[in-house]
Amino acid sequence: MKYYIGIDIGGTNISTGVTDDDCNIVGRSKIKTDSGRPYPEVIEDIIESVKLAAEDAKIDMEDVKWIGAGCPGTCNCDTGVVEYSNNLHWDNAPLRDDIEKAFGKKTYIDNDANAAAFGEYLAGAAKGSKNAVVITLGTGVGAGIIINGKIFSGTNFAGGEIGHTVIVVDGYQCTCGRKGCFETYASATGLVRMTKEALEQHPESRIAQLVEADGRVSARTAFNAAKMMDDVGQAVVDRYIKALACGIANTINVFQPDILCIGGGVCNEGDNLLVPLKKLVAEQIYSKNSSKNTDICICSLGNDAGIIGAAMLGKSTEGGILRSVFGKEK
């Protein structure tokens, strides 16, 4: 049996897994990224994470067909270079070549959101679809777009940056340099910011009680306050979902995918998030009277999506993916 190794490089953790042909993860490792470090230090831990995952899976590297890595930023899939990653502070990092030199295995790289979307497409909530968009609500807003079974990367491998489309002109400052980006409102970071603003304006709210108990403001704080029938918490939740719906409706209007999946910790709110979100999106999409509209759902793979998608990147490149998903060549 052949195995595949997927590396999900994040600002917080380097999560690596060994998968089989059926996208089952059979070995894992996790190492803190400490993204303030220079690239040469981080790549050493990436290499170590691969060794630990293979050890956990009880396999030799000879059993591994290829390695894939998902990384935040602009990843040139042709050259294997991470041209720019603001979250990791990398410029022109030779990620693919460094991994290949360490293990002598063919290595593929792509943007981490693309890898996560590919994972959901292969083995998660988007499995069986033809066109899909996967949006991850985390520190930022990542997005991966699958068109006719292939990852859409754009001419310069920087496509799919839905998080950096503007939904509020001259709104919150974004780390990308623009103002009012979807990311600044719909990310967990944006939700925390809005919650802190509400706390400053309404110190008498239940939000203050929750923060005192928890010791911090989190992406759960406003939702928890809303569950306690707190008007201020509910107002924050409503504002957040309204912004999220705006960005999702924009995305559907452009791509009209079969399915749009959302992931990230905030999705643990389930129907408290999904029901009002679907209602607002339905009111805004251009195709509201169509006989078939995009299905909106929550991702099913969680943090494993990035590992699985990265491990399977070689199948996208080698052309085997459409056979494995649809049962025949398309």
How do residues 161-172 score in pLDDT, each as one tens digit? 999 999 999 999
- Which of the residues in the chain have pLDDT under 70? 317-330
Whole-number pLDDT of residue 318? 60
Strands of 81-85's sheet, edge to edge?
A: 74-76, 81-85, 90-93
Task: Tell which residue, 101, 102, 73, has the closest CA to residue 85.
Answer: 73
CA distances from residue 207 to 8, 222, 223 in whole angstroms, order as listed: 34, 7, 9
Full-model pTM: 0.88
Whole-number pLDDT of residue 326? 35
Whole-number pLDDT of residue 36? 87
* Alpha carbon distance 115, 16 (integer Å): 13
* Alpha carbon distance 121, 131 (integer Å): 9
* Alpha carbon distance 141, 57 (integer Å): 32
* Count of beta carbons in the 10 Å neighbourhood of residue 170: 9
Backbone angles phi, psi at 45, to 5 degrees: -75, -30
Q: Where are the alpha helices (DSSP H) in 58-135?
A: 95-103, 112-123
Question: What structural domains and CATH numbers belong to the chain?
Answer: 3-121+303-326 (3.30.420.40), 130-298 (3.30.420.40)
Whole-number pLDDT of residue 86? 79
Whole-number pLDDT of residue 12? 87
Whole-number pLDDT of residue 322? 39
